[in-house]
Amino acid sequence: MLSVLGGTQRSFQVVLFFLVLVVFLMVGFLHVDFQLLTPDKAQEPPVTNLMFLKTHKTASSTMLNILYRFSESHNLSVALPRGSSLHLGYPWLFVTRYVEGMKQDGSQNHHFNLMCNHLRFNFPEVQKVMPNDTFYLSILRNPVFQLESSFIYFKDYAPAFQGVKSLDQFLADPWKYYNASVGLKNVFAKNNMWFDFGFDNNARADVDYVRTCLSEVERQFHLVLIADHFDESMVLLRRRLRWQLDDVVSFKVNARSPRTVSRLTEESQERAKRWCELDWQLYQHFNRTFWAQLHAEVSPRQLRKELEQLRARRRELTALCLQDPEHKNNTQIKDRNLLPYQSGNAEILGYNLRQGLDNATLRICQRMAMPELQYMAHLYSLQFPNKPPKNIPFLKT
């Protein structure tokens, strides 16, 4: 009798062992996402306290549009530029008095959930404005393309770019045109992303210095996205913030017409990496950590699925909202509220909405296509109805 019972027990153990083995093999084979098997994380509320360091020429206006829409749909309060200002003190290091609603002594009249306009990062001052549990986020772009975009956009503004015909020409002999001591207008011409993070864009790229700065960014920021992989960035962001799909679906804003994009020679691309060595190191480091985090968070199969969902929803909203999926230039855009600001030699594009949209759809579509300055002015008037509205000079004429 005992030996029969022992045999049954052994058989049961063997069956159990094989069952467990089959489950593990299936999980591995089908790339089942472990995150989906752990419901706790998904059940936590979405992140609503968020600081986005808006770096330049890095798809940051598209990110801003996402954040502004989230703030409206969740009734959140944004730390906006004070008075008539259009940014938070850039290129000066951020201090709290640049924010509307902060008192001179650094205390607040308001509670803020989001901060996302251009500023030069200064962690202790930002912390005075934002709650303790704030999620710190930023975005980087391959410095070669970031510099090319910056060159065209800030062509008339940065002294280093004014007297030169092309970026190829500039990169062939940058010190001929670039003078670090002419003031902060030249920050767009060298290591601009490094500068935005609060560091010295003219510093030498010594190993120890770079390592110290990168560790500082690692400590201060929960996530750094990569503009060159924008959709993958949205997949990771949505998961980290526990947001809905529609919260991270966007139309590309602040893009240039293809005729104002110039293709750099191979040689110039290499020169750009050397000229912006600090940005190059910053980008390489966070590009690596971005992919490591994404792969740790989501299986390849699940990533493909979520990318397809994101793109399908964008196609749906494009068909619903836009007269034509193609971007439009300034002369083609009919609604002045959707006209993007133009700068330098860049032709910045925007959208026309479809006619006859019902009110609720129109509201959604307008916000998705609204350029940064108009959206900021809109939020400012909502948050500070008793203050004079923001004046956007180029919309006056």
Ligand X SMILES: Nc1ncnc2c1ncn2[C@@H]1O[C@H](COP(=O)(O)OS(=O)(=O)O)[C@@H](OP(=O)(O)O)[C@H]1O
Applying CB under 6 A, which residues contact ligand X?
Answer: 56-62, 149, 227, 230, 252, 254-256, 261
- Min dist CB 131 to ligand X, Å, is 25
**Rounded distance between C-alpha atoms, residue 255 and residue 276, angstroms:** 22
Query: Minimum distance from CB of 41 to ligand X (Å)?
Result: 26
Q: Which residue is nearest to ligand X (CB)?
A: 61
Quote the longest CA-to-CA distance of the chain: 99
Q: Which of 49, 189, 66 is nearest to 127 (CA)?
A: 49
Q: What distance in Å separates the CA atoms of residue 165 and residue 191, rounded to the nearest whole number?
A: 20
Residue 82's Cα: distance from chain center in Å? 22
Q: 368 burial class (0-12, 13-18, 19+ CB within 10 angstroms)? A: buried
Helix (H) or strand (E) holding 195: helix 192-196
Provide CB contacts within 8 A for 79, sequence distance 6+. Answer: 88, 99, 100, 101, 102, 110, 112, 114, 115, 117, 129, 130
The residue (of 56 and 273) whose beta carbon lies closer to ligand X is: 56
Least gap, CB of 109 to ligand X (angstroms):
28
Helix, strand or coil, per DSSP, at residue 77? coil
Q: How far is the CB of 228 from ligand X (least distance, A)?
A: 7
Min dist. Cβ of residue 349 to ligand X (A) = 9
| CB closer to ligand X, 138 vs 299 | 138
Based on CB atoms, which residue is closest to ligand X, 87 or 222?
87
Compute the least distance from the CB of residue 206 to ligand X, in Å.
28
Residue type, 330: N
Q: Which is nearer to ligand X, 102 or 236 (by Cβ)?
A: 236
Q: How far is the CB of 356 from ligand X (least distance, A)?
A: 28
C-beta separation of 106 from 79 below 8 A? no
Q: Which is nearer to ligand X, 173 or 308 (CB)?
A: 308
The Cα–Cα gap between 195 and 197 comes to: 5
Helix (H, G, I), strand (E, B) or coil at 80: coil
Minimal distance, residue 341 CB to ligand X, in Å: 8
**How far apart, in Å, are the Cα atoms of 341 and each of 255, 256, 338?**
11, 11, 10
Q: Return the number of the residue (147 or 213) whose C-beta is nearest ligand X.
A: 147
303, 294 in Cβ contact below 8 A? yes
**Cβ 323 to ligand X shortest distance, Å:** 20
Nearer to ligand X by C-beta: 66 or 126?
A: 66
For the chain, what's the residue count? 397
Query: In the β-sheet with 223-226, what is the strand arrangement from edge to edge?
Result: 114-115, 50-53, 135-140, 223-226
